[in-house]
Amino acid sequence: MKKNVVLGVSGGIAVYKALEIVSLLVKKGINVNVIMTNSATEFVTPLSFQSLSQNMVTCDMFKEPKAWEIQHISLAEKADVFLVAPATANIIGKVANGIADDMLSTTIMATKAKVMFAPAMNTNMYENPIVQDNIKKLKSFGYEFIDPIEGRLACGTTGAGKFESPEAIVDRVLMELYEKKDLLNKNVIITAGPTIAPIDPVRFITNRSTGKMGYAIAKEARNRGANVTLISGPTALEVPKNVNVIKVSTNEEMKNEVINRFDNADIVIKSAAVSDYKPKNYSAQKIKKGEGDLSVEFIRDNDILMELGNRKEKQILVGFAAESQNLKENAMSKLQRKNLDYIVANDITAADTGFASEDNKVIILSSNNKEIHLDKMSKEKIASNLFDIILEKR
């Protein structure tokens, strides 16, 4: 059954970004009903939201209804999540003080769904003690806020109050809508991305990992209710909300962060592409270009996964194997040598999956000799399947 989001749009220059929120939600198969304040319609027409949502847009409480129902009650009851984005100081103040004088404020008052506000306003307005007191009051009643970020605002000033990105807002809504909550109160550690091995202050070696698979796994664990720690090498990915993200660069840094948290972990998924080798001698000064060739001698770096396998007690330990040949054989060897519970193997030579791709195709092998083949699908679906397999009959 489709999930329903009611999107309340109040008047501010960030209204145009709410169009992208509707588009992203609809692409995820979610039904969206939009309620606009009169001032919001001065920035973007209701027809724009209607075209994207494929639903009539509600603006006026007293306009003749399209169906025989009390609209603010029917929308209030229909919502699985009620999102107000952008949320102005005006709508925040109304709800905080029990004022219900238009369709949006009235419907918010009538709903029992989770209500989320994504504020967007001038910095001075956002920091005004009255606005902050209204936000604090609403939070005490269980209303949730997707905090604005700092940046340059439409008025030309720079500071807090900038509307959070539509992607981040939708990500938070999807987290709330997610039905599987089978990881509640579980501590999950995920490593993602590459690590680097410095040669001198300006040069290093690394690999082609983008971190997309690990970040997808982190979001899936978070959506299922886990307490997630994501230990990430350098990536260009947006940091996921409601995840404890620790940024590292080197193998040694990643090792230390994982080991320090390992004892309290329930599940550890090592999807990072960790550097296996590092220069034997690091040059503290930049190596100057000479006339001849340059040779760098490399030595083995830490085998983090092997150490975790040796330390493992109650934890479920999952590794990844990125292979260019003998995929299953190499993955099975790694599973056994490193005392893993599961290993996810993927062929890095495939042109349409793997590094930098939005999709993946994997074989999941287990220590009890199970073998699951997942054909090409999004990395988000791979992540969902992975946890289904890990949690099966546990």
- Contacts by residues 321-324 (CB-CB < 8 Å, ≥ 24 positions apart): 321/345, 321/346, 322/273, 322/346, 322/348, 322/354, 323/347, 323/348, 324/348, 324/349
What is the reported pLDDT for 393?
60
155 carries an active-site annotation:
yes
Query: Same CATH topology for 4-177 and 187-392?
Result: yes
- The domain locations on the chain are 4-177, 187-392
Q: Where does the pLDDT of residue 260 fall: very low under 50, low under 70, confident under 90, or very high at 90 and above?
A: very high
Candidate CATH numbers 3.90.245.10, 3.30.70.100, 3.40.50.10300, 3.40.50.300; the one for domain 187-392: 3.40.50.10300
According to DSSP, residue 163 is labeled: P
278 is in an annotated binding site: no
286 is in an annotated binding site: yes
Phi then psi for residue 98, to 5 deg, are 75, 20
Phi then psi for residue 152, to 5 deg, are -80, 130
What is the reported pLDDT for 72?
57
Whether pLDDT at 65 is above 70: no
Q: Where does the pLDDT of residue 152 fall: very low under 50, low under 70, confident under 90, or very high at 90 and above?
A: confident
Structure tokens at 113: 């769904």
- Check 73, 130, 155, 239 and give the catalytic one: 155
What is the CATH code for 4-177? 3.40.50.1950
Whether pLDDT at 73 is above 50: yes
Average per-residue pLDDT in the chain?
A: 93
Whether pLDDT at 110 is above 80: yes
DSSP string covering 95-124, please? HHTT---SHHHHHHHH--SEEEEEE---HH
Task: Count how many residues are written for the chain.
Answer: 394
Whether pLDDT at 68 is above 50: no
Mean local confidence (pLDDT), 147-162: 85
Mean local confidence (pLDDT), 78-103: 96
280 is in an annotated binding site: no
182 is in an annotated binding site: no
Whether pLDDT at 63 is above 70: no
Whether pLDDT at 66 is above 60: no
Q: Where does the pLDDT of residue 17 fall: very low under 50, low under 70, confident under 90, or very high at 90 and above?
A: very high
334 is in an annotated binding site: yes
